[in-house]
A = this chain, B = another copy of it.
């Protein structure tokens, strides 16, 4: 359900409760900000102590406010907030920005106060921003509104900026002003007792003015909903997220590999990538990203040409490109020949193209025109030389002419000047006036281009597969019910097999046997070496009990193995265990897993099995639902990926089959929320792909 937030974000009348003429009053600062930005609606200061504030007549109480006030800004003492909200709610006022702090961020009493506020929000169906926030800003020329105590009122633009933190909001607004980035809306969420980022995303998904959404978040109000919203908005309008608060790897003692390997940070990263978010990790990277996005050309590949009049800077740019995986391909011979027709003999015609210090506007324009067709993007370095026969603006205009045309073929052109000097600023200023991204340092241009490339790849991707695989949920539920009736929370191998097969995930052939005769029958049927082991629901570390015997290749060895395992299952430690036989599958050892994250829900894991996964923690994650494409991404994301390709005589692993397993596992755990953890370790990928060990744990209810 999308909340209508138009009266909150574009109110025609605002009351500021707690406005005061005192210079250190936050309420007074907000009222003054509203007046200064020429807010055209009605303004009502509320304060019993004054007859007027800032030349506006002052109401003594919210009770005396006229009916139909769209928005109330609350800046009163924390002990008075609930009373103000309740009185306003009764009057039919629905929209609030609560600046006052002293809620859940300050211990027990504040927590209770926030709970009471939430109750009021529900009771009167209110839209509440805050508490403990800086306010909201709408910079549209029709209804300009600075309902915040920010020192900054951004210029009009197309970026929606949602910030959980007030101080980060204020900082970012300052830098937006510094680099002349326009904003349409700014909302500081504060404690998020009412309106969350999701409410705003839902409302904004219909807003045509918005071209880019930027969110600073320290946590997610509801990640599942967030993902759905970004999936809706992202394919048209980039959603950029600075998610702060990396949590160091958790130390909780869990039995499964998946549980012990899932670091909250890796899960957040996978989640944001799956959602289709462009994640940045600092304010600087954000500014680079937004500047590049403003121009609007998103490249289709990662190949760039670098043009420079300063050789060293060209090399540093190439280095920076290599670090982030942007290619600088050598230029074809015919292109080099064209360049050599007008560049001096000292010029370097490789890539970077070093046009040396004498290069002027026509050199830049022609070189850019000639090289852009064979790459996906260009980085143009123009360091104002000591001597140049023309104004530097001419060089900027030459670049602009080509860049404008290249926009239609989605080829961005990014520039840098290597200088903050007056001459360089004239060059940069000319480009910035047309919104062509321009930076001082080449590394910044490369950073920005890397972000454009990520967005390009995202948009090229096929997106989440809507038609997910189906499993036989009813059958699976019956298996689980049986286990639960027996008072168990772990499944046997046989039960796990039942579950996996119900979702089309293949399992290694097996037999439970009680004596040598039964074992011999299975051995003869399989016709090859067997593995014999003890199976018991919830049994980990089978090896440590000596409960696995491999390479059983003769009747004699089989008889010995059955004897040894029979003895083992009669002991206390393994009592109740059964003897399980399986053929010895050959192929690559993999691991698939799932555990549930308290906020993200089911998290799937993939890795190469054996010692690697344990020692190197080389695994990748995906938050369910995992589509086939996302499954492929997970498979490719592990460092050991080369081990899955054709290697030392082994054929390449069938990667789509692995992605399919991930997709099926994802559907299984979404259908069966009582499953807490899954480990398929190992899962063998060879001629046949099959789970060899299955560990499935149920939630203890």
Contact = CB atoms under 8 A, between A and B. Distances in A.
A313 B615 contact: no
A171 B616 contact: no
Nearest to A216: B312
A110 B170 CA distance: 57
Contact of A319 (B245, B309, B616): B245
A659 to B, nearest CB: 20
A67 interface: no
A383 interface: yes
A428 to B, nearest CB: 14
A149 B311 contact: no
B165 A611 contact: no
Contacts of A421: 151, 174
Contacts of A105: 346
Nearest to A642: B615
A318 B174 CA distance: 22
Nearest to A644: B615
A405 interface: no
Contacts of A346: 101-102, 105-106
B313 A611 contact: no
A218 B248 CA distance: 38
A316 interface: yes
A408 interface: no
A443 B216 CA distance: 16
A84 interface: no
A29 interface: yes
A648 B614 CA distance: 10
A639 interface: yes
A167 B310 contact: yes
Most buried by B among A26, A167, A310, A313: A167
A420 interface: yes
Contact of A244 (B178, B319, B615): B319
Interface string A652-672: 000000000000000000000
B443 A282 contact: yes
A200 interface: no
Given A281-B323, A313-B167, A149 B106 contact: no
A487 interface: no
B171 A244 contact: no
A309 to B, nearest CB: 8
A63 interface: no
A199 B387 CA distance: 32
A24 interface: yes
A244 B282 contact: no
B420 A178 contact: yes
Interface in A300-338: 309-313, 315-316, 318-320, 322-323
Contacts of A309: 167
Contacts of A165: 310-312
A357 interface: yes
A420 B612 CA distance: 48
Contacts of A29: 386
Contacts of A174: 419-421
A251 interface: no
A37 interface: no
Nearest to A648: B611
B318 A246 contact: yes
A645 B615 CA distance: 9
A545 to B, nearest CB: 13
Interface in A164-206: 164-168, 170-171, 174, 178
Contacts of A106: 345-346
B312 A168 contact: yes
Interface in A1-37: 24, 26, 29
Interface in A361-393: 383, 386-387
A218 B386 CA distance: 23
A538 to B, nearest CB: 21
A270 interface: no
Contacts of A322: 246, 248
B167 A383 contact: yes
A322 B268 CA distance: 15
A307 B282 CA distance: 19
Contact of A616 (B242, B245, B311, B639): B639
B357 A167 contact: yes
A167 B311 contact: yes
A526 interface: no
Interface string A407-422: 0000000000011110
A169 B218 CA distance: 41
A76 B166 CA distance: 61
Contacts of A502: none
Given A174-B420, A178-B420, A421-B174, A151 B386 contact: yes
A1 to B, nearest CB: 30
Given A640-B615, A643-B616, A168 B246 contact: no
Contacts of A642: 615-616
A441 interface: yes
Contacts of A168: 310, 312-313, 316
A631 to B, nearest CB: 21
Interface string A144-173: 000001010000000000001111101100
A345 B110 CA distance: 11
Given A167-B383, A615-B642, A245 B647 contact: no
Interface string A231-246: 0000000000010111
A597 interface: no
A261 B281 CA distance: 32
A283 interface: yes
A281 B640 contact: no
A441 B282 contact: yes
A119 interface: no
Given A106-B345, A246-B322, 11 more contacts: A106-B346, A151-B421, A167-B310, A168-B312, A171-B418, A174-B421, A244-B315, A244-B316, A245-B318, A283-B441, A611-B643
| Nearest 3 Cβ contacts at the A-B interface | A165-B312, A167-B310, A168-B312
25 contacts: A24-B387, A29-B386, A149-B386, A151-B386, A164-B312, A165-B311, A167-B310, A167-B312, A167-B313, A167-B383, A167-B418, A168-B310, A168-B316, A171-B310, A171-B313, A174-B421, A242-B316, A246-B319, A246-B323, A281-B320, A282-B441, A282-B443, A611-B648, A612-B612, A615-B647
